[in-house]
Amino acid sequence: MNQTACQGASFVVTDGPSRRRWLLATAGLGGALTLTAVVPFVASLLPSERAKAAGAPVEVDIGTLAPGEMMVVEWRGKPVWILHRTPEMLASLEKAEARLADPGSKAPQQPDYAHNHQRSLKPEYLVAVGICTHLGCSPSKAFEAGDPALGSDWPGGFLCPCHGSTFDFAGRVFKDKPAPTNLEIPPHSYLSDSRLLIGGDTRGQV
């Protein structure tokens, strides 16, 4: 009968079932140690919750967002609106400019590429932080033009239910409202026609 001696160990494993069990246990332990080493390494490659909260960019699929629809995603703990504007929504932007507090978006609350009346990289999409600049309430959709509650000349946009501030389809605030500035535009870029990156742009700005 053969015997296997382990240096520094006080046991002897003989051939047969006991030896096979010992070999299987040794192989299993080695595999477990390897897996234990690999898992933290893989996890280190993934964005942590702390990184997300600190403002890690968020990639969004907008391929199925139809004209007239809006989706909301979270970035830095804030709701970010992504509105696919219709031709009618875009046409309303110029018509509303005389009634806006900052139609050219001169206040430093958006990237340079949003200093236009559409406030966007692509005319058909509005990307804005959905928090009123007055006291932090979240405005609601008031898309219907001529809404009786907002007047027959209402062009459509957003209404803050807390104190009545109104914004157009570019997130620009109307005159004589509590909100002092337009809605914030976060840094963003388009990775493709259907992929949007919020929180950074292709030039590395965050």
Residue 204 has pLDDT above 80, yes or no: no
CATH number assigned to the domain covering 54-198: 2.102.10.10
**Residue extents of the structural domains in the chain:** 3-44, 54-198
Per-residue pLDDT, 20: 54
pLDDT at 15: 55
| pLDDT for 62 | 97
Q: Is the dihedral of CA 111, 117, 118, 121 positive or negative?
A: negative
| pTM of the model as a whole | 0.71
Q: Which residues are catalytic?
A: 163
107 phi, psi to nearest 5 deg? -65, 140
Residue-wise pLDDT for 11-70, tens only, equals 444 555 555 555 555 555 555 444 444 444 444 444 555 555 556 899 999 999 999 999
